[in-house]
Structure 1
């Protein structure tokens, strides 16, 4: 599209939409939003800050480079993934999920002991949080885990089947985490729904709440924030009556639901709601042992503090975000994936303030801790692209090296 440089993002979106013969309701529907939302974007009444929504708009408009929409033609290309597979491990995971067998005898040698299955799921979650290359390493384990979990559920009955269903729900939740941003939308929805369905079949409130936390992630990242809040709030209401005398992990997942809601509200600019949800999560953390960490969501004292930085950053309160980050000891967080994400949030805060030197330093730190967390997370990739685009001459070489490592072409 040959557009004058002075066109705003909203004006570019409108011009592209009209050139493709799309009505405002049609394009909004393709992004899972309403026509009033798109009208505010096109007229400049609302700023489009979500990288996820920008990518959805670009894909719906069949634009292969995001800079056509943003107008940032100088700097690194920002390719829009119009295809399905974005990670070498995805075909095997796709096959395991989408080619689910209905025959109980397909894998007759698959272990059917639910305790062993749960142990394998738990170890895989530990690997997810420990490895700097977690998508590749966990992705290699998932196909067999998925097939063995499905086989166990088909082969067992009674209490053993319910235990296998809880394990299978955990496996599908992990699949959702490991394939976030790299899976086609249909796989993300299938995985989230199977995790929730397995937990509901098991009739275990903590498993249902954990699966709802996962479903909320999918809803939020596919631009359904209100639905995400509804799901996590319903899950919190479901598990709350069971918390007195319940295991710590039940309170842990309840707290994780509050933090999820806090970030969702913050991304929608709802500051009061965001901090209200965060306060609820904070209170849950205070009720748990100081060293407690939930195995899959890593909810605990450190993660509550990390989420305060995320909430402030998403609310564009960079000074507060950086001040909160200054008081955090990242090493108390046992999850490398979560530590890398913290440094990405700090980098975003520095970029909001125009401090590119500090942003580059912490993005390099994030990449060193969790290379695949940075490479496959849109907000991290956007931070690297913004850095490369605005880097002064003295920082160009370092920034270009980071962009190449993350897979953001610097040209």
Structure 2
């Protein structure tokens, strides 16, 4: 792989410094990869390298015909809800006159909670939530600036929740600068509120942004620091505090798995598993949907990322997706199962499962890069008799013209 990366770089007249910089890494990192002294396990970094080298198929870099030949996204995905959110976030006024009436923090929190429920229960969650967010952002910002004392702290927690939801709803459609601003504001608001659970939840969100922008080490540092912060409060705290602690463990498990660190990945998954066992069987965290079902779902993701398809599919066989109240999370589970079938070379099964994923949550599949990659692979390489079905799926997901 290193030799192929070097050959591609040199054929384009790029120096190591330039290519490494485009991936937000140093020359020494790229040199070790090119010389084979360091393995490149991060899928996100592979995508960054491919995009920088103007390569539209990862198999050109990996050189392994058995790999999933993922289509490289050469830009952000478009969504009509983004401009309104961009305006609300990036044109925040420096001076705000005190309004005649201020939204009550409890009412503001209720709107945020309802929006989170919509995110998890709507088949068109991204479109519907993006329509609500501009007003929510402005109202929460105004409340924080107008209130004092405990009311301001409550408004800050609500503001942090709103920005966390903004990060979820704009994932893969927002440019990097917006993603970073949103994640930072969520964490800053939680810290200003001095609320351990809000800080931990915002750190979970920040970890998502860091991991998806190819900073796995930094993502792990943030979520593990947050785990240490909230751990002393768990015994006396409400169930949701343990819920966010468990979500942080699952985040670390997936991050380690994507880096190929099997021992650490399974260790953190087991920590999340133990947290789920300590909570009521029916418990579900309102925003991260941590609970028994999500722990099981993450076991599939961890084994898929570790390229242990047989184990992943075995775990998936014992899962009832309907126990998960989040449509978005159910759709993502089916995508992970499809990835497992692709790793085994079974494109017929992968196509059938991807059709279920799309029927479960169409917008989740359309706006999740791993799902689009699976759809693109199937469009190109499905058995001849199934290519018409694969083409219909690819067209619905919106990847066929990009391949």
Give the TM-score taking structure 1 as reference length: 0.91
After superposition, the Cα gap between the structure-2 partners of 1:64 and 1:96, relative to the gap in structure 1 and judged at 3 Å, is: farther
Structure 1 segment 212-361 matched on structure 2, within 5 A? 212-361=203-352
Answer with 217-226 or 31-40: which moved more: 31-40
Answer with 327-336 or 19-28: which moved more: 19-28
1:249 Cα deviation from its structure 2 partner: 0.2
Q: Which runs of 5+ in 2 are unaligned?
A: none
Structure 1 segment 20-99 matched on structure 2, within 5 A? 20-39=12-31, 41-43=33-35, 50-61=42-53, 63=54, 65-66=56-57, 69-70=60-61, 78=71, 80-82=73-75, 86-99=78-91
Whole-angstrom CA distance in 2 between matches of 1:37 and 1:338:
35
Whole-angstrom CA distance in 1 between matches of 2:296 and 2:59:
37
Matched residue of 2:173: which SS? coil
1:135-184 alpha-carbon deviations (Å, 9 max, x no partner): 11111111111111101101111000000000000000000001111110
Q: Which runs of 5+ in 1 are unaligned?
A: 1-8
Whole-angstrom CA distance in 2 between matches of 1:392 and 1:360:
10
Matched residue of 2:171: which SS? coil
Structure 1 segment 185-200 matched on structure 2, within 5 A? 185-200=176-191
Contact 2:365 2:371 in 1 (8 A): yes
The root-mean-square deviation of aligned C-alpha atoms, in Å, is 2.4
1:225-274 alpha-carbon deviations (Å, 9 max, x no partner): 11111100100000011111210000000000000000000000000000
1:157 maps to 2:148: yes
Matched residue of 1:237: which SS? helix
Contact 2:156 2:189 in 1 (8 A): yes
1:51 Cα deviation from its structure 2 partner: 4.6
Aligned length: 399
1:3-34 alpha-carbon deviations (Å, 9 max, x no partner): xxxxxx65453234224443324322321334
Whole-angstrom CA distance in 1 between matches of 2:133 and 2:36:
44
Instruction: Give 1:5's aligned residue.
Output: none
Whole-angstrom CA distance in 1 between matches of 2:50 and 2:14:
13
Matched residue of 1:321: which SS? helix
Whole-angstrom CA distance in 1 between matches of 2:47 and 2:62:
14
Contact 1:32 1:222 in 2 (8 A): no
Give the TM-score taking structure 2 as reference length: 0.93
After superposition, the Cα gap between the structure-2 partners of 1:51 and 1:182, relative to the gap in structure 1 and judged at 3 Å, is: farther
Instruction: Give 1:6's aligned residue.
Output: none
Whole-angstrom CA distance in 2 between matches of 1:57 and 1:110:
51
